[in-house]
Structure formats: C-alpha cells, structure tokens
Amino acid sequence: MKRLILFSTLLAAGTASAGPECTKEPKAKWLDQSKFQASLKEQGYKINKFKVTSGNCYEIYGFSKEGKKVEIYYNPVDGKVVKEEIH
C-alpha cells in the first residue's frame, strides 16, 4: 500500500511539472525548426537550448534581447507563444 501511495504521489508530481500541450496537428504542418530558430534570433533571442516537447511544442531556453533569462513554449504550427517564463 505504501508503494502505491508513493508511486501515485510521484506520478502526480511529474504530471504537475509537465509543459503545456501545444498542438495535435501532424508534423507536416509545423514550421521548419531551423527557420523558426533563425526568426527568433533575428528578434534578438539568444537560444541556448531548443527542443520539441512531449506536448508538441517548440521550447527554447535562453535570453531575450534585454538579456533576461527565458523559457518559452511555442505552438509549432503558427509560432504563437503558449507559455513564457522570464527570470
């Protein structure tokens, strides 16, 4: 019983920290990753890490043009910000 409670607690904690769900569209409809990153760099972002999340988002870790640390989730179909954290 204790193992079940511990497993349930760990599962809930892992789910709570998961990122957003951005799209269910097929990858054929997504923006090209390289071009998308290039457009962000043109806007002044410094990208330290770019990845595709399990929620089908483009996610960046890096810095804004103002030099603030950012973590941003984008919808890969239209490039709109889904979630943004600025530190």
Q: Which helix (H) or strand (E) holds 59?
A: strand 58-63
Give the number of other Cβ atoms within 10 Å of residue 82's Cβ.
19
62 has a pLDDT exceeding 90: yes
Report the DSSP pairing between strands 69-74 and 46-52: unpaired
Q: What is the pLDDT of residues 63-81, one digit of tens each?
A: 999 999 999 999 999 999 9
Rg (alpha carbons) of the chain, rounded to whole number: 16
Q: What is the pLDDT of residues 2-34, one digit of tens each?
A: 554 444 444 444 444 578 999 999 999 999 999
Instruction: For each of the domains in the chain, give its residue range(s) and CATH number, in order of start.
Output: 20-86 (3.10.450)
